[in-house]
Amino acid sequence: MEKVLPGGIYKDLLLEGETEDVAFEVPANRVVELLYGEYKVSTAAPEGDRLLRCRVLANDYSKLLTLFEFTLAASLSKTIDFGISQIINTMVDDVIQLPSRFLLTAGMSLRFYIMNGQVGDTFSFSGKYVEW
């Protein structure tokens, strides 16, 4: 039987970046469950490929899980949904199926990277999670 923790608070998550990585770190003494989200990236600069990845890291920044890793050519965009997205009216390129209880504990982080990012590149992750 699955244990459900009562009293969780539903929160929105918005991460935005350009040429650097961005992360959501779980606060001390908290547990979060990522419910769903949407990742969008657009490469406006006319040359060069970008390596994009999303990882879950432990407290000591060691890699626990890679959710995606791909190369995107210049002047292209891509949209990836996480879980069963509640975001509508969007063009979705890929879907990442999340486990039924995608829990992160205090100190863990959900980190989005862009390698070889250039001026004009943008990426964002918007979603919903529950925090206890």
- What CATH number did the domain enclosing 23 receive? 2.60.290
Q: 90 phi and psi, to 5 degrees?
A: -140, 155
* Structural domain total, the chain: 1
**pLDDT value, residue 130:** 94
* Confidence (pTM): 0.83
Q: Within a domain: residue 111?
A: yes
pLDDT score, position 2: 47
* Per-residue confidence (pLDDT) for residue 100, from 0 to 100: 81
What is the residue range of 111's domain? 9-118
Q: What pLDDT does residue 62 have?
A: 92
The residue ranges of the chain whose pLDDT is under 50 are 1-3
User: Would 131 be classed as within a structural domain?
Assistant: no
Phi, psi of 29 (to 5 degrees): 60, 30
Q: What integer pLDDT is reported at residue 83 of this predicted model? A: 83
- Residue 56 tokens read as 């879950």
